[in-house]
Structure 1
Amino acid sequence: MRAVAGGYQLALHLNSPAPLRASLPLLEVDGKPLGVARQSPDRKTLTLVTTDPAVASARDVRLVWSGDLGKQNAGRGRGTAEGPTDADWLKARRGPLLPSDPGALGKYKVDAAEYDLGDEAVYLPGLAHRSELRGKVYSPRGAVGPRPVVVFLHGRHEVCYGEPTNPSDSEKPWPCPPGMKPVPSYRGYDAPATALASNGYQVVSISANAVNGWDSEAYDAGAQARAELVLDHLALWRRWSTIGGGPFGARFVGKLNLQNVGLMGHSRGGEGVARAAVLNADRGGQYGIRAVLPLAPTDFARATVPGVAMSVLLPYCDGDVADLQGQKFYDDTRYSVGGDTAPRSTVTVMGANHNFFNTEWTPGQSVAPSGDDWFGDEKASPCGAKYPGRLTAKEQQAVGTAYIAGFFRLQLGHETQFLPQFDGSDSRAASAGKAVVRVVSQAPLGSRQDLNHFDQALPAGAVSGKVSATVCAGVTSTAVRAALPTCMTTDDWADAPHWGMAWFAPMAPTTAVTKLKWSGTNGVVRVAVPAGQRDVRRFAALTFRAAPDPVGAPKTDLSVRVVDGHGRAAAVPVSAVSDALVRMPGSSDSGLPKNLLRTVRIPVASLKGVDLRDVRAVELRTDRVASGSAYVSDLGFSSPGLGYSAPAVLLPKLSASSVTVKEGDAGTRLVDFWVRLSRPSIRPVSVYVETNGELGESVGRVARRLVFKPGQVRQKVTVPITAGTRDSYDLAFNLVLSAPRDGLLDRSFGRGLVIDDDPTPTLTLGALKTVERTGVAAFPVKLSAPSDKYVSFSGVLKDGTAVIRRDYAGVNDDGTGPADRTIDGYVEPGKTTGELQVKILDDKVQEPTETFTAVIDLVDGALMTVPKPLTAVVTDND
């Protein structure tokens, strides 16, 4: 531990490299996670800066993962008890079968080929390293004309496997050292790639091992680098499909339509393809990226993906990204841009884990070591490997194929027979087998009519009877202090995907919903239908999102009542059409059950006796159960539709500047960042902005919403920097932009650097004079001025007339094995004297004065003036 500019720099050294996971590495002190740790290239050292004074007296420091919070001593290490509704999900309702199976092979034979331009073929600015350009292409044999293109990007997994010829070579993560082979993660999606290619699509699955190897150093965990890599591959294919060349000659000339592109990204690759779609729009939409499917994705910085069709696939038994943070892609994007005509959905797959969508991450199928990311008792509900509701690897891969292929065939090929797969009606693909899947859908603008988002207080008179309607956001265990009440109390926000914080944007408010709570059967929440929107005959269904309160009954119910202008009404129990108000499976000690809003879908045709030309109100009534509590969101009428999807090139782009400043010696400096729009907008543009990273106490915390008025193109964000006179470390931090409205994120991380400008103090060590009976003696240690650094130094002990282990010993020598001749010392932050100790052994034998020496050869945190060697004189006392 080291003090830094009013805070503390904490370092944890591991005996072996930390695993490569999608989750972020955190340092936990005495059971409390303090923040995201920076990993060294060899993944053996993790550091972070914190202002928490508890680290000064820390007893236990360990590595934990952002996806595991709350499960360190629970479901990760033992079985989980069955929850109160688990049996319901083993016999859950299933929708009708699709008339066409998206996972089935089509009429084309598939040709597969690979290309490899080298391990360091391209430089990625977002990574500050070079990357491989390697991929596998799947082509429909005999297909005529340019075909839609789908690019697959795998996630964060081990980079190399095997034993290095020289162990020291393994400290550099990429390229693989001699004796090791690259893990071929890009080959792990053969089934969905083949399903698409056999139906006429060109599919390219690309390798991202360099990004995985180096992204621990990236300010955004590699999202920008992954996006750049996707666009670099598309640039290759633009050339190969127009003028030819490269490894394929003229084979693909005229075969790829790069104005009709879809992207699938798994794990951190999901965040990468989301960023690629936005980056492509920032650069003018040079490629027609029209559809994005993040699969079990990370979303560390609360980005939005407007303009393009999006479906987020969430595996319920994800043991890596266990908080299902990809849910926020949907939540944050759905109303982020006025006039957005793209459809979006979330697809929750019960019984699926994080890894098994990729065969190269699946035991028994992969060439490199792999494993099940969900741990615990194999028979435990709902995610144990042998529990009836858990999918086998092949079953999970079949589900992945059905939804990946169905999504891109729908959005790129306009194969509308797959609309019911993504409209919330839970229509099933035959190839998905027994899988229970729940879809939430936002129909494109033009195919829907929003009545109430339920993210603001209802008007006076809308609530009557024994029911309350409270707008809430967030959970009590996060650092967010929003103006709204929190929706849940939990120690593990893995069970609250809508409301857990994002680690790079922890202060940005999360999804606001309305929480209903009732104590009688007469409660009514009435939503009026405005004039001009009362004819709903053109819509297929009345829909909203709902979930039960986790502290209430495991099952609850509401009635939905639709009222026309003559007072006639039709009422439908939620339980008759949806299991949205049935608690999801699992016990409360393993990040389960998830509290996910799910679809309530009432076909308009079922509203018998109501004049659908003149619907005046939709009511939520508590007449089904006497007491209960539930969350509701996004009420409206809608029909399935393709909408229009394209790069959002017309939106203004938001960028944050970077600032480097010297710390100074006195007072507080105000440092100005600038957040800029690429052009003036005719409507307000907003974005959340906050400081994050190695703040210490010298960098003031800033967190607020910026609103750009029409015509305004820049705003100043002032960050206070507290000066100091002690030598300290430079502090790097970020100004993070997140959750924009009516704009795109361009440079969403502004880089801040506070340079320490104080002189380094000098360390002086003196000779030791002591007597034999002293026991533990100390060499004089003095620092010329107090420092904010933890000053440490070390060296070796050498015999003179005194002999080690007979006359003296190192303080850490336990007397076993060879003599430990190391000697270590330190000066604590803020002090000018320190410790350099040695043990003096009393042998009870009369003897002359003896000497030994200490040679100090390594000093960290100070300059050193010391005689060489340091002499220790020991006077006999017998």
Structure 2
Amino acid sequence: MRLIGSKTLSLGMVALLGWGLVPSASAAPPPPTNTVAKGNDWRIEPVAGGYRVTLDLDRRVPLRDALPMLAVDGRAIGVAKESADRRSVSLISKDPTVLKARDVKLTWSGDPDGQRSKAAAGPTDAEWLKAKMGPALADDPGAKGRYAVETAEYNLGDEAIYLPGLKQKSELRGKVYSPRGATGARPLIVFLHGRHQVCYGGDENGPFPEKPWPCTGVWKSIPSYRGYDGPAEALASHGYQVVSISANAVNAWDSDAYDAGAQARAELVLDHLDLWKKWSTVGGGPFGTKFVGKVDLRNIGLMGHSRGGEGVARAAVLNADRGGRYGIRAVLPLAPTDFARATVPGVAMSVVLPYCDGDVSDLQGQKFYDDTRYSVTGDNAPRSTVTVLGANHNFFNTEWTPGQSVAPSNDDWYEEGSESPCGAKYVGRLTAKQQQAVGTAYVAGFFRLQLGHEKQLLPLLDGSNGRAVSAGKAVVRVVAQAPAADRRDLSRLDQPLPAGAVSGKAKTAVCSSGCVQIEDQSQLPHWGPSWFAEKTPTLAVTKLSWTGKDGVLRVPVAAGQRDVRQYAALTFRAAPDAAGAPRTDLSIRVVDGHGRAASVPASTLGDALVRMPGSGDVTPKNLLRTVRVPIASLKGIDLRDVRAVELRTDRVASGSVFLSDVSFSRPGVGTSAPAVLLPKLSASSVKVQEGNTGTKNVDFFVTLSRPSIRPVSVYAETNGDLGQSVGQVARKVVFTPGQTRQKITVPVTGNTRDSDDLAFSLVLSAPHDGLLDEPFGHGLVVDDDPTPTLKIGPATASENAGVLKFPMTLSAPSDRYVSVQGDLKDGTAVLGKDFKAFDEEPPSRSFYAYIEPGQAKGVLEVRLVDDKVKEPAETFTASVTEVDAAQLKVPLGLIGTITDND
């Protein structure tokens, strides 16, 4: 999404804002900016802990799935906090370079650099427009099955349930899709929509409501939960029970949630499962006994769109934390956010990544796959990523699609022309209905495969490029990790190779976030930072570079693993180096114990080594894709005695590629169940008095629910507006067998200035052989300094002085803005004729004044009008009616005296 200043919200966004767009007439004026750095709509102010960067908007911040961020001079500096009325965003930065700011804009976590420029077609666009399609499946997962589908809705109220993760009440509302005439208990699939506008239909220019939820008066609730009819009806027609639930309350309140609402969304999913447990066993509610015996709660799938994707991933883990009450066996995050680097072990998972996502533009959901694939030893659940070219973020939901939704909606990819590769009129871009057909095919296909074990659908998701006819012209690329029992890993290529593994004019290096030399993080799904776990290492891969055709990277096959006849393919993930040629090639050479070899060019196996479409900003995405060598193609070697896999540079004289995950595998549905046997990881919470001097160590504890027989690890880091009081801590925590408690020490620096209490988090991410139970520890530094008292004295000035200044004095400097406001009252001096609060017309009686953080003195200024009339001294009263962050008895009347100079 473009950088947004106060005057540059797009019309599409304006249509989506829902609540009023202008401030209430009674709203207090913003504090005057100091002289550190400022613009027409932004300011940078010194505060305790650094510099507060604030951007004011003349349109409310839209509800998007990405997190709002601030960019200074085009560089994202962090996640911003929305004001209560969503008309400003701010953050505290420790970076002193912000003092040189020339510009501040609103941008988003999915597109942190925020500036897109039109670019010429990418060098490989034509290849992708005619990209090879896989063989069509005989059973099209997007086609309707033998059951007629009946629908119903339930609504238990807008504030029917309390969500602890939100600290607010939520609606319990859902749409039910049932196979008519089906007998017996049926698998249950729950759909959860993402973060979208909540209400529509009222006065867009009206005042901001007291509460963002429920919708009141003429405002109507946006029915986002009704937007997935396609996949829901496809599944129900094949005998599956589907429920799509509403999450508008979470969307309305989650800007204040410590984790952007992931926990609350998970709680909401489990609350609905609690309802269905009752309705399918004893009945009741709106359905009576209709569903008794009709729902199999041991066989459940969850689909979550956008922030809903993070919500259902968390729900699967939360369910396991609670003992696996429900048989959640399959999770499909659709265009998801992944702000905290969670893993989803034990359950089948497929992550759908729309290439033209204009909201979560960095395709951060890729990390669900990267982080989970080896996170638990022996995990026998399959997982995959499904990249859909030409698809945007919104159109998977008809209620977010123009022409289909009841409320205003938009195309989240903002380019409207034929710009490659995602403009609305570009030949490779999918229409809304085409995109929805793809979504239906892959959502329905995934759950039918994993919950129903309909193995005829394996080619759709096992990486062999089977194609659903209903997906039409869509170009889809699947990367798959087979279940552990169906896979033999040779090398993850995430560690330095042993001596002698590389020969010829080739070299290798293991790298992570520094692998790809691109500044635009939205092009780096594997390697961009996650905003609640920014310091957690990202995917480590091997970079192979060569300057001659004699280079070889050799991966040996260990004794006891050399018979590969039971496998279907040799696979690895690969991508061309963005700094190199747009297409490259390697030979894959498999050597047996007699020295015989079979060699296959990677270019004959697919387009993994062809740069993805687009040019310039945001695209092309640097995504690892699968090179799949069918075992049947390895002619002339003894498959009972395979000794090595070699990647050779004999196809191209020079180049570089990224490589990962070399393995032999065969298709399989594996076994999938809640990971209840894993030990649970939790972060403690800490509340501490700030103190007056020095730095003291505050101890968090990361605990394991029980001792483990193998090492368990997790990354831990502090997150939030830490200021100068809280030190940045980030490290890997390793529990050796038998250990259950580890200490994380965080330094806290005290002072004698009054300030706000400082809340921050200790975030746990990317666990290995453990399950996240309480992944956010809550820290609170309680300010223990007295609130200063404020004195304001009378003032006298000559009318030609221009300004009359009432002196303001604090008993001690504060780390907060100390402000006063009130009204000017006539005496012998008259408003407009002799004085006024600001240089504005018509003159205002309201005044506002402040003392900056760290200062003990300030002034309340009143403008004076210089006339040419000889007159006696005149007076007026400044009546202070409100004070913030200081002690002052109000109302307080201050006499201002204006002396004549004529």
Query: Normalization by structure 2: what TM-score?
Result: 0.93
What is the 5 A alignment of 1:618-657? 618-657=645-684
Q: CA deviation at 1:822?
A: 2.7
Q: CA deviation at 1:165?
A: 11
What is the 5 A alignment of 1:225-264? 225-264=264-303
Per-residue CA distance 1:373-395 (angstroms, 9 max, x = gap): 00124200110011010000000
Identify the residue that residue 36 of structure 1 maps to in structure 2.
79
What is the 5 A alignment of 1:552-567? 552-567=580-595
Identify the residue that residue 464 of structure 2 maps to in structure 1.
425
Q: 1:294 to 1:866 in 2, by over 3 A?
A: closer
C-alpha distance in structure 2 between counterparts of 1:85 and 1:407, whole Å: 30
Q: CA deviation at 1:783?
A: 1.5
Q: 1:165 to 1:8 in 2, by over 3 A?
A: closer
Answer yes or no: is 1:813 the counterpart of 2:852.
Answer: no
> Does the 8 Å contact 1:765/1:865 carry over to 2?
no
C-alpha distance in structure 2 between counterparts of 1:658 and 1:781, whole Å: 40
Identify the residue that residue 630 of structure 2 maps to in structure 1.
603
845-854 or 419-428: which moved more? 845-854
What is the 5 A alignment of 1:791-870? 791-810=818-837, 812-814=838-840, 816=841, 818-864=842-888, 868-870=892-894
Answer yes or no: is 1:69 the counterpart of 2:112.
Answer: yes
C-alpha distance in structure 2 between counterparts of 1:742 and 1:871, whole Å: 71
> Does the 8 Å contact 1:284/1:649 carry over to 2?
yes
> Does the 8 Å contact 2:146/2:237 carry over to 1?
yes
51-60 or 187-196: which moved more? 51-60
Q: CA deviation at 1:166?
A: 11
- Name the aligned partner's letter for residue 847 of structure 2: I
Q: CA deviation at 1:30?
A: 4.1
> Does the 8 Å contact 1:5/1:724 carry over to 2?
no
Where structure 1 has 5 or more consecutive residues not aligned to the other structure, the ranges are 475-485
Give RMSD over aligned pairs: 1.6
Q: 1:566 to 1:380 in 2, by over 3 A?
A: same
What is the 5 A alignment of 1:223-372? 223-372=262-411
C-alpha distance in structure 2 between counterparts of 1:166 and 1:252, whole Å: 45
- Name the aligned partner's letter for residue 832 of structure 1: A
Per-residue CA distance 1:397-436 (angstroms, 9 max, x = gap): 0000000000000000000001011111111000000000
Q: CA deviation at 1:857?
A: 1.9
Count, aligned residues? 859
SS in 1 for 2:714: strand
- Name the aligned partner's letter for residue 734 of structure 1: S
> Does the 8 Å contact 2:110/2:359 carry over to 1?
yes
Identify the residue that residue 696 of structure 2 maps to in structure 1.
669
SS in 1 for 2:892: coil
C-alpha distance in structure 2 between counterparts of 1:826 and 1:61, whole Å: 23
- Name the aligned partner's letter for residue 854 of structure 1: A
Answer yes or no: is 1:772 the counterpart of 2:796.
Answer: no
Identify the residue that residue 511 of structure 1 maps to in structure 2.
539
Identify the residue that residue 576 of structure 2 maps to in structure 1.
548
C-alpha distance in structure 2 between counterparts of 1:692 and 1:715, whole Å: 19
What is the 5 A alignment of 1:693-772? 693-772=720-799
Identify the residue that residue 17 of structure 1 maps to in structure 2.
60
C-alpha distance in structure 2 between counterparts of 1:706 and 1:664, whole Å: 29
Q: CA deviation at 1:71?
A: 3.0
- Name the aligned partner's letter for residue 295 of structure 1: L
> Does the 8 Å contact 1:5/1:729 carry over to 2?
no
C-alpha distance in structure 1 between counterparts of 2:782 and 2:47, whole Å: 12
SS in 1 for 2:766: strand
SS in 1 for 2:861: strand
Identify the residue that residue 198 of structure 2 maps to in structure 1.
159
Q: CA deviation at 1:865?
A: 5.5
Identify the residue that residue 486 of structure 2 maps to in structure 1.
447
Q: CA deviation at 1:170?
A: 2.5
C-alpha distance in structure 2 between counterparts of 1:201 and 1:316, whole Å: 29
Q: CA deviation at 1:11?
A: 4.2
Q: CA deviation at 1:853?
A: 2.1
Q: CA deviation at 1:169?
A: 6.6
> Does the 8 Å contact 2:108/2:114 carry over to 1?
no
Q: 1:70 to 1:3 in 2, by over 3 A?
A: closer
- Name the aligned partner's letter for residue 742 of structure 1: D
Identify the residue that residue 34 of structure 2 maps to in structure 1.
none
- Name the aligned partner's letter for residue 849 of structure 1: A
- Name the aligned partner's letter for residue 21 of structure 1: R
Identify the residue that residue 524 of structure 2 maps to in structure 1.
496
SS in 2 for 1:426: coil
> Does the 8 Å contact 1:761/1:784 carry over to 2?
yes
Answer yes or no: is 1:207 the counterpart of 2:246.
Answer: yes
Per-residue CA distance 1:96-117 (angstroms, 9 max, x = gap): 1111100110011111111111
Q: CA deviation at 1:352?
A: 0.2
C-alpha distance in structure 2 between counterparts of 1:612 and 1:41, whole Å: 65
- Name the aligned partner's letter for residue 647 of structure 1: P
Q: 1:859 to 1:62 in 2, by over 3 A?
A: farther
Please point out which of 571, 575, 596 is paired with 2:599. Answer: 571
Query: Normalization by structure 1: what TM-score?
Result: 0.96
Where structure 2 has 5 or more consecutive residues not aligned to the other structure, the ranges are 1-43
46-55 or 346-355: which moved more? 46-55
Identify the residue that residue 479 of structure 1 maps to in structure 2.
none
Runs of 4+ residues over 6 Å off in structure 1? none
C-alpha distance in structure 1 between counterparts of 2:59 and 2:786, whole Å: 36
Q: CA deviation at 1:168?
A: 4.7
C-alpha distance in structure 1 between counterparts of 2:890 and 2:872, whole Å: 27
Please point out which of 164, 169, 183 is paired with 1:130. Answer: 169
Q: CA deviation at 1:63?
A: 2.5
Per-residue CA distance 1:761-818 (angstroms, 9 max, x = gap): 12211111111221233221211111111222222222222223332233x323x3x2
Identify the residue that residue 401 of structure 1 maps to in structure 2.
440
Q: CA deviation at 1:70?
A: 2.1
Please point out which of 553, 567, 580 is paired with 1:539. Answer: 567
C-alpha distance in structure 1 between counterparts of 2:488 and 2:867, whole Å: 92
Q: 1:620 to 1:387 in 2, by over 3 A?
A: same
Q: 1:52 to 1:166 in 2, by over 3 A?
A: closer
C-alpha distance in structure 2 between counterparts of 1:235 and 1:606, whole Å: 51
165-174 or 742-751: which moved more? 165-174
Identify the residue that residue 483 of structure 1 maps to in structure 2.
none
C-alpha distance in structure 2 between counterparts of 1:292 and 1:801, whole Å: 74
Identity of aligned residues (%): 70
> Does the 8 Å contact 1:105/1:195 carry over to 2?
yes
392-401 or 580-589: which moved more? 580-589
> Does the 8 Å contact 1:765/1:866 carry over to 2?
no
Q: CA deviation at 1:820?
A: 2.1
C-alpha distance in structure 1 between counterparts of 2:302 and 2:625, whole Å: 25
SS in 2 for 1:335: coil
Q: CA deviation at 1:740?
A: 0.1
SS in 2 for 1:499: coil
> Does the 8 Å contact 1:42/1:173 carry over to 2?
no
Q: CA deviation at 1:871?
A: 1.4
